[in-house]
Chain A
Amino acid sequence: MNERVAVVGYKQTKHTFDSPVARERMIYELVKSLFKDLGITRDDIDTFIFASNDFTDGRTISEVYTVPRIGSFMKDETKVEADGLSAALYAYMRILSGLYETALVIGFSMAGSEFRVPLTQAYSLDPVYERPRGIINYYSTSALQASAYMKKYKFTEEDLARLTVKNLQNANNNPYAARKEPTASVEDVLNSKPLYLPIRQAHVSAYADGACAVILSSKKAAKKFTDKPVWIDGVGHFMDTYYIGDRDLLAMEHLSAAAKKAYKMAGIKNPKKEIDLAELHTNFASEEPVFAEAMGLFKPGSGKDVVKNGESGIDGAMPVNPSGGPIGANPINATGLIRLAEASEQLRKEAGKNKVKGAKTAVVHAQDGPGAQLNTVFVVRR
């Protein structure tokens, strides 16, 4: 048995809306350069774990073409059919078991150029009540949630626009982000194309081509990779019902439960005080206050004040998505893993322009399924 697991290496591509190379070349180059940075070879990795999805990849057994491209030819290789942070959780458990000392986790997507995201996501909806009638999709599910939050807590369209601009500005300072809108104003967001009101085009995350690779290791093996390990001290992973009608989209009880479990494991009693920053997997800007409050980072319903007082900005009391979050790049399946990489970069004080001063503890979140059906939470420390 291993006692503690660390993030010992990570790298993401510069995400784009139209990758000049195929996914096979993209992930091969990424992993090869990560190995080079760390001075290791593929023989230093005990198990390789993909995060990919047959629906968003448009083919079954979606990792089958890519296995040798991450160095896992004739090695222990497996796949998680969910976001990359779920794959990282799998890697974490494999290392805890003591059967493996090191794991490489990779997520990738061609969501920017190869398919229309809402169209393909629709195939993963409930096939009896939801899919055949075509009355609901990932966008409209989140719009229902946004609408509920805004009405209950008097969170206005302008508040939502300010929050969007905050993230766009952070994304603008993130060298990996695909979406760069340095001059975007609150007015621009308020006037952007309406899709599923209150959701407008500007609120939608930047579905992109890109990949992220993270290496996890046992405490014993960590020294070989880095002298700056980032420890995974708490994890939570909760799923709500598949059928959207059985869920309370606003309460997000499963996310609360996942966060509480991770905090308890990490010995965190007061997340507002003990956590220095949060990286959240939001597919739409409107999800940010809902998720952050469910995770105990802000008082329930305080979204309006948080935006007004800049509490979630880089210099605020609880910076949320200092990287810009998925509004800057959302290569599906890699997105949660990118949150882990971004948080690790912050804790290692390597974050560049978006640095959160004195950050020692971060919370990382990822979701999968319509309206965040599945939520994964990690607490990481340096």
Chain B
Amino acid sequence: MTQETRIIENTWDLTAYQWKIESDALDLYVKGLKDKKILGRKCHKCGTVYVPGPTYCRKCFIDIDKVVEVAQEGVLDAFTVNIADVKGNLIEHPYITCTVKLDGTHSFLMGILEGWTDWRSVKEGMRIKVVWKDVTQGALADLSHFQLI
């Protein structure tokens, strides 16, 4: 009895699908970015502030519509030093990816951390601020990075 295997070629054409995406949270968020503001939604029942802000509260399971502008400063929550790329190759200039919590919000934002020279000196809990691209156009990339204060 043989134990041979062979390859059978098949495809799965994902372009056969067109998804309708609920855009309330994204639209509000990028609209704010264009004006160099961070906008989210606040639940009137439990007070949770979501950024980006959906039109419902996932805890209370109710519709929410209160738009709030949140602070552009906050706290460094966690970070990782990117030493390698997704293929495992070492990269020439390591950089830091982080999660931050802007003051008064309950969601984390993810981005690039700058304003450091030795990563060993970066500590969770340090204060950060939002840094914008010079020209904003209503896109996620308008928020350039977070800067240690």
Query: Using a CB–CB distance below 8 Å, which chain A residues touch chain B?
Result: 19, 21-25, 28, 32, 35, 41-42, 58-59, 68-69, 71, 73-74, 110, 113-116, 119-120, 123, 127-128, 131-132
- B10 at the A/B interface (Cβ < 8 Å)? yes
List residues of chain B with CB within 8 A of the CB of A24: 22
B16 touches A119 (CB 8 A): yes
**CB-defined interface of B60-92 with A at 8 Å, one 1/0 digit per residue?**
011000000000000000000000000000000
List residues of chain A with CB within 8 A of the CB of B20: 19, 21-23, 110, 113-114
Closest to A73 in B: B58
B56 touches A115 (CB 8 A): no
List residues of chain A with CB within 8 A of the CB of B9: 132
A68 touches B17 (CB 8 A): no
Q: Which of B8, B19, B20, B59 has the most CB of A within 10 A?
A: B20
A127 to B6, CA, bound (A): 13
A19 to B8, CA, bound (A): 38
The contact of A131 among B10, B16, B19, by CB within 8 Å, is: B10
Given A58-B16, A71-B61, A73-B58, A22 contacting B21 (CB threshold 8 A):
yes
A68 touches B58 (CB 8 A): yes
List residues of chain B with CB within 8 A of the CB of A115: 16-18
List residues of chain A with CB within 8 A of the CB of B21: 22
A35 to B56, CA, bound (A): 15
List residues of chain B with CB within 8 A of the CB of A132: 8-10
Given A42-B61, A127-B8, A132-B8, A120 contacting B17 (CB threshold 8 A):
yes
A59 to B16, CA, bound (A): 11
Closest to A120 in B: B16
Smallest beta-carbon distance A146→chain B, Å = 26
B59 touches A73 (CB 8 A): yes
Smallest beta-carbon distance A308→chain B, Å = 42
Q: Could you list some 5 contacts between A and B, CB below 8 A?
A: A21-B20, A21-B22, A28-B56, A110-B20, A115-B18
B61 touches A41 (CB 8 A): yes
List residues of chain B with CB within 8 A of the CB of A32: 61-62
A69 to B62, CA, bound (A): 10
Known: A114-B19, A120-B17. 8 other contacts (CB 8 A): A22-B19, A22-B21, A58-B17, A59-B19, A73-B58, A120-B16, A123-B12, A131-B10
A318 to B114, CA, bound (A): 73
The 4 A-B pairs at the shortest CB distance, nearest first, are namely A58-B17, A68-B58, A73-B58, A22-B22
List residues of chain A with CB within 8 A of the CB of B135: none
- B1 at the A/B interface (Cβ < 8 Å)? no
B16 touches A116 (CB 8 A): yes
List residues of chain A with CB within 8 A of the CB of B17: 58-59, 114-115, 120
List residues of chain A with CB within 8 A of the CB of B59: 73-74
List residues of chain B with CB within 8 A of the CB of A28: 56
List residues of chain A with CB within 8 A of the CB of B61: 32, 35, 41-42, 71, 73
- A-contacting residues, B4-61, CB 8 Å: 8-10, 12-14, 16-22, 56, 58-59, 61
A38 to B32, CA, bound (A): 39
A128 to B6, CA, bound (A): 11
A25 to B19, CA, bound (A): 13
A252 to B120, CA, bound (A): 68
A23 to B8, CA, bound (A): 34
A68 to B14, CA, bound (A): 25
List residues of chain B with CB within 8 A of the CB of A116: 16
Given A41-B61, A132-B8, A132-B9, A58 contacting B22 (CB threshold 8 A):
no
List residues of chain A with CB within 8 A of the CB of B16: 58, 115-116, 119-120
Smallest beta-carbon distance B133→chain A, Å = 29
A41 to B62, CA, bound (A): 10
List residues of chain A with CB within 8 A of the CB of B13: 119
Closest to B63 in A: A32
Smallest beta-carbon distance B45→chain A, Å = 12
List residues of chain B with CB within 8 A of the CB of A71: 61
A198 to B10, CA, bound (A): 30
Smallest beta-carbon distance A132→chain B, Å = 6
A28 to B17, CA, bound (A): 22
Smallest beta-carbon distance B29→chain A, Å = 16
List residues of chain B with CB within 8 A of the CB of A22: 19-22
List residues of chain B with CB within 8 A of the CB of A110: 19-20
Closest to B6 in A: A128
A113 to B19, CA, bound (A): 9
A127 touches B58 (CB 8 A): no
List residues of chain A with CB within 8 A of the CB of B62: 32
A24 to B54, CA, bound (A): 11
The contact of B8 among A73, A114, A128, by CB within 8 Å, is: A128
B8 touches A25 (CB 8 A): no
